[in-house]
Amino acid sequence: MKTSVTVLGLGAMGTALARAFLAAGHPTTIWNRTPGRSAELDDLGARRTEDITEAVTSAQLVIVCLLDYAGVSEALHPAAAALDGRVLVNLTNGTPAQARSTAEWARQHGSQYVDGGIMAVPSMIGGPAAFVLYSGSASAFEQHEAALATLGRATYLGSDPGLAPLHDIALLSGMYGMFAGALQAYALIGSEKVSPNAFTADLLVPWLTAMLTSLPRMAADLEYGAEPGAAGSNLAMQAAGFVNLIQAAEDQGVSAALLRPVQRLLESAVAAGLGDQDLSALVPRLATEVTRV
Ligand code: NDP
């Protein structure tokens, strides 16, 4: 008999989670603030309730996936007593601090708490490329690991509930850095009516793919210490070249707003005498007041 599961929240992601549990044969109870959402889940065998306390008490494993933690707090508050003795897995995106305080709140109500970060879009849930980061109660994770693996590869990061959102936000930061760069590139080529399709396939994707291969080296520098200039692209050279990124954008009538913080970071490092270092030397400077933007 498969573990019974409750899914709270039937937005795009909650619906995908419920669909995956149903497809894997888990008896699945669903609840959403706005009644009647994602009617297709009823046809797939979901048990729907509009009473959140009934939803929480319907399963040992309670998954919550709402827009934000304010919504989680608001939705779960009336059902707090029903959490006693259950496992609450919160897959809502949030910060490490929010995860830790929600874990403490859940603990006070007798619940074992696991926080999670979903590294997938809804269409990927249940497929081979999806993975979900978890942290918090080790025993709760172990007990429900098989059920959670239904959603995607389940990776447990440790007992501090803040670890999953820490890693989730770090990965999203890397992703948005890439997207911000791509947006800037498209705006720049768009200023001369260059085809985005050809630019992407022939140039942007191969270039970014090649640049991705430099990350393990950067990580090794951070882990073991860097030999200055070993990568052959020192910061003084990069700061000089970066001026051209700003100037070219402005000459083409494109905003340089996304680029300027990176330029400030580069220039402050060079001014601090780090011109012969590689990019990894910028990481510790992000923690200092001088480069905060
Ligand atoms: P949607 O905007 O599609 O759905 C939001 C859900 O939150 C709805 O069910 C909504 O209910 C509910 N909600 C919002 N506020 C409250 C509240 N105060 N009380 C009760 N319910 C509330 O978002 P997604 O489903 O796409 O995202 C859900 C979570 O998953 C987010 O934290 C998101 O960051 C994360 N995520 C999403 C990904 C994606 O690509 N979609 C990828 C990875 C993570 P109602 O129907 O009543 O409005």
pLDDT in tens, 103-155: 999 999 999 999 999 999 999 999 999 999 999 999 999 999 999 999 999 99
Whole-model pTM?
A: 0.94
Nearest-CA neighbor of 72 among 97, 47, 106? 106
- pLDDT score, position 236: 97
Question: Residue type at 193?
Answer: K
| CA–CA dist 119, 124 (Å, integer) | 9
Nearest-CA neighbor of 134 among 110, 165, 102, 111? 165
pLDDT digits (tens, 9 = 90+) for 55-83: 999 999 999 999 999 999 999 999 999 99
| CA–CA dist 62, 82 (Å, integer) | 11
Q: How far is CA 141 from CA 149, 208, 221, 243, in A?
A: 11, 36, 34, 50
Mutate-to-test residue for ligand 1 from 30, 33, 67, highest number of ligand atoms within 8 A of CB: 67
- pLDDT score, position 228: 73
**Which residue has a Cα nearest atom 48 of ligand 1?**
34
Q: What is the distance in A from the centroid of ligand 1 to the CA of 219?
A: 34
Write the CB contacts of 116 (distance below 8 Å, at least 6 apart in sequence). Answer: 89, 90, 91, 132, 133, 134, 135, 148, 164
- pLDDT score, position 287: 83
User: Domains (ranges, CATH) in the chain?
Assistant: 5-159 (3.40.50.720), 167-291 (1.10.1040.10)
Report the relative pairing of strands 112-119 and 28-31 from DSSP bridges. unpaired
Packing angle, helices 235-251 and 260-269, rounded to 10: 150
ipTM score: 0.99
**Which residue has a Cα nearest atom 21 of ligand 1?**
33
**Assigned token pair, 253:** 């009538």
Mutate-to-test residue for ligand 1 from 6, 56, 66, highest number of ligand atoms within 8 A of CB: 66
Nearest-CA neighbor of 248 among 204, 187, 193, 207? 187
**Which residue has a Cα nearest atom 17 of ligand 1?**
71
- pLDDT score, position 289: 55
Q: What is the distance in A from the centroid of ligand 1 to the CA of 33?
A: 11
If DSSP codes are grouped into helix, strand and coil, which group holds residue 54? helix
- pLDDT score, position 96: 98
Q: What is the distance in A from the centroid of ligand 1 to the CA of 64?
A: 10
Q: What is the distance in A from the centroid of ligand 1 to the CA of 143?
A: 26
Q: Counting atoms of ligand 1 from 1, which one is nearest the CA of 34?
A: 47
Q: Which residue ranges in the chain fall short of pLDDT 70?
A: 289-293
Q: What is the distance in A from the centroid of ligand 1 to the CA of 194?
A: 37
Q: What is the distance in A from the centroid of ligand 1 to the CA of 261?
A: 31
Q: What is the distance in A from the centroid of ligand 1 to the CA of 245?
A: 37
Q: Which residues line ligand 1 (CB under 6 A)?
A: 9-14, 32-34, 37, 65-67, 71, 74-75, 92-93, 118, 121-122
- pLDDT score, position 292: 53
Mutate-to-test residue for ligand 1 from 6, 13, 17, 133, highest number of ligand atoms within 8 A of CB: 13
